[in-house]
Amino acid sequence: MYIRPFDPWKAKLCTCPFKYTLNVYTGCDHGCVYCYITSYIPNAFRVRTKERLLEKLERELRKFNRRYIIALSYSSDPYPTVERELGITRRVLELFKSYDVRCLLLTKSDIFKRDIDILSELRCAVGVTVTTVNERKAKLLEPNAPSPRARIKALKNAKKAGIPVYARIDPIIPLYTWEDFEKTLDALSFVSHITVSTLKLRPDSKRRMFAKFPKLMEKLWPLYERGERIGGYYYLPRELRLEILREAERKIVERGITFGSCREGYRSFPSCDGSHLVPH
Ligand code: SF4
């Protein structure tokens, strides 16, 4: 089955409402230093297509209960570089349109602007992840992803086309992207909902962070060592984490935007993932 119930490894702190997920591709070439899919997908930064995806998906959609949401995609970006040429995600969206599927799209690319024509006819909400609007830092963190500026511009175009839009500021990295949080928020002030999440490290992402940001990690890692270990992830110390989340929430809500948090054991309203924006 390509459409699967979303189950983030039964994460203790996940508060997601029930939804399905579909990964159009296996792997993702944005190559984010902090990425977690490398812990369970071999060669995760090499993008592969899926065997007879469209044909099998159509069969699954015939039986799919349209009450539910399908999220694109949680274990690989639906718009890796190769999507420009292959257009597989576009064809998936065409199928969603034929079967009137409710869809929650999330990407770190601007390629989706090509598909605004279809997205505006779907019951969907579109989100982009922006860790920081600082272009230099974003290039270091997400070397192959389109620039934050391009993502935000594409999201503004989606909003102009009448599509509900949201954003994720995820991960928040203390002493690094957290420094730009206010500016990042200002650039995203046109969205309806923002979900935040603090950096959670696994052994492989920790190694990549140390290799790329040795000085930063010299300061950051001692914090994580004092922090919690939840479901195989290193978390910041609880008090520091809650302090960041409280401040993020205040700044988001005072801009008239609703607030969500992801795998933090902290509140979200009306939803943690923006799924409340998907029309019924
Ligand atoms: S966009 Fe997401 S899935 Fe792709 S490399 Fe970055 S964190 Fe990993």
Q: Specify the ligand 1 atom closest to the Cα of 76.
A: 3
Question: Residues with Cβ < 8 Å from 1, sequence gap 6 or more?
Answer: 60
Please choose, from the candidates 154, 57, 135, the residue with its C-alpha nearest in 3D space to the C-alpha of residue 99: 57
Domains in the chain with CATH codes: 4-277 (3.80.30.30)
Identify the residue whose tokens are 């309806």: 192
Count of CB atoms within 10 A of residue 229's CB?
A: 9
97-133 pLDDT tens trace: 999 999 999 999 999 999 999 999 999 999 999 999 9
201-238 pLDDT tens trace: 999 999 999 999 999 999 999 999 999 999 899 999 99
Contact 141, 32 (CB under 8 A): yes
Secondary structure letter of residue 26 according to DSSP: B
Q: Specify the ligand 1 atom closest to the Cα of 129.
A: 1
Exposed, middle or buried, 163 (CB in 10 Å: 0-12/13-18/19+)?
Answer: buried
Secondary structure letter of residue 3 according to DSSP: S
Count of CB atoms within 10 A of residue 225's CB?
A: 9
53-107 pLDDT tens trace: 999 999 999 999 999 999 998 889 999 999 999 999 999 999 999 999 999 999 9
What are residue 179's phi and psi, to 5 degrees? Answer: -65, -30
CA distance 12 to 30: 28
* Counts for the chain of helices (H) and strands (E), in that order: 10, 10
Identify the residue whose tokens are 């189950």: 7
Protein residue whose Cα sits closest to atom 7 of ligand 1 = 35
Q: Out of 24, 25, 76, give the residue to mutate to test ligand 1, the one with the largest number of ligand atoms within 8 Å of its CB.
A: 76
The finding on whether 30 has its CB within 6 A of some atom of ligand 1 is yes
Task: Using a cut of 0.85, tell me whether the model's pTM lies above it.
Answer: yes
Residue 66: what residue type? R
The finding on whether 170 has its CB within 6 A of some atom of ligand 1 is no
What are residue 277's phi and psi, to 5 degrees? Answer: -80, -15
The finding on whether 252 has its CB within 6 A of some atom of ligand 1 is no
Q: Specify the ligand 1 atom closest to the Cα of 108.
A: 1
3-state helix, strand, coil in the chain (%, to 5): 40, 15, 45
Q: Higher confidence at residue 17 or residue 79?
A: 79
- What is the per-residue pLDDT for 10? 67
- What is the per-residue pLDDT for 86? 98
Secondary structure letter of residue 258 according to DSSP: E
Exposed, middle or buried, 273 (CB in 10 Å: 0-12/13-18/19+)?
Answer: buried
The finding on whether 77 has its CB within 6 A of some atom of ligand 1 is yes
Exposed, middle or buried, 18 (CB in 10 Å: 0-12/13-18/19+)?
Answer: exposed
Dihedral over Cα of 146, 148, 154, 159: its sign = positive
